[in-house]
A = this chain, B = another copy of it.
Amino acid sequence: MTIAITAFERSPDGGKGLARDTRVRWALEEVGLPYEVRLVSFRAMKEAAHLALNPFGQIPTYEEGDLTLFETGAIVLHIAECHPGLFPADASARARAITWMFAAVNTVEPPILELVTVKLVESDKPWKADRLPLVEDRVRARLSQLAARLGDGDWLDGVFSAGDLLMVSVLLRLRPSGLLDEFPNLAAYVARGEARPAYQRAFAAQLAINTAPLPAG
């Protein structure tokens, strides 16, 4: 069954791998599934054809036969459930991996997205300078808790799982801020994720698209 995902025609990050299609590409590479990519422009993302796939007008989406999914977390979970490589076989360990998936997108990522809001969305606002340290401290609070739990482990719960895939992806967004480097074990954890061959292939695939000439028209 052919798998098709959507990605930005041109990512706002210019190919740094922070757009969420990289997370889905990484998951597909970990389990060894081929996939097709359909590129969408910012304009097309808000049009009816794409909204039918994702009502919130975002990428990535995931199509596999009659099944259409959106939300990166749900797509990665679906891939992990249907193919070996991203979930442990033990049911309890699998439930804990899912806990880390939600922790990544629901507990660790929100303050990181607030940082994006301060720096990009509200970069022209008069409160930017005063608000930035408040938001940075919220990020630090989460990182500190995560670093304490990770300790000197390689991954969050023994072996690499879909939970690590999402957590590493979320933390990668922080690298430009310098905050990640305040927590050496988290920086090493992220580097361990990036070093995986499946991540390398996913990163290279999105970079190739973002550095290719745009189609005419």
Does residue A125 face the partner (Cβ distance < 8 Å to B)?
A: yes
Interface stretch, picked from A28-36, A141-149, A197-205, is A141-149
Q: Which of these binds chain B: A8-16, A107-115, A181-189, A206-214?
A: A107-115
Contacts of A99 in B (CB 8 A): 69-71, 74-75
Interface pair B92/A55, CB less than 8 Å apart = no
How near does chain B come to A173, taking the closest CB pair, in angstroms?
A: 14
The number of times this chain is found in the oligomer is 2
Q: Does A139 contact B (CB under 8 A)?
A: no
Contacts A102-B105, A127-B127, A142-B56 given: A96-B69 contact, CB under 8 Å? Answer: yes
Contact indicator per residue, chain A 57-74, by CB within 8 Å of chain B (1) or not (0): 110000000110111111
Q: Decide yes or no whether A77 CB sits under 8 A from chain B.
A: yes
Give, as a whole number of angstroms, the nearest-CB distance from A82 to chain B. 9
A168 at the interface (CB under 8 A from B): no
Q: Please name 6 further chain A to chain B contacts, defined as beta carbons within 8 Å, in addition to the given A71-B107, A74-B101, A125-B127, sorted by A numbering.
A: A51-B148, A55-B146, A55-B149, A67-B92, A69-B95, A77-B98
- Residues of chain A touching chain B, judged by Cβ–Cβ distance below 8 Å, are 51, 55-58, 66-67, 69-75, 77-78, 92, 95-96, 98-99, 101-103, 105-107, 109-110, 113-114, 117, 122, 125-127, 130-131, 134, 142, 145-146, 148-149
User: What are 15 A-B pairs at a CB distance below 8 A?
Assistant: A51-B148, A56-B103, A56-B145, A56-B146, A66-B92, A69-B95, A74-B101, A74-B102, A77-B102, A110-B110, A114-B117, A122-B131, A122-B134, A125-B127, A127-B131
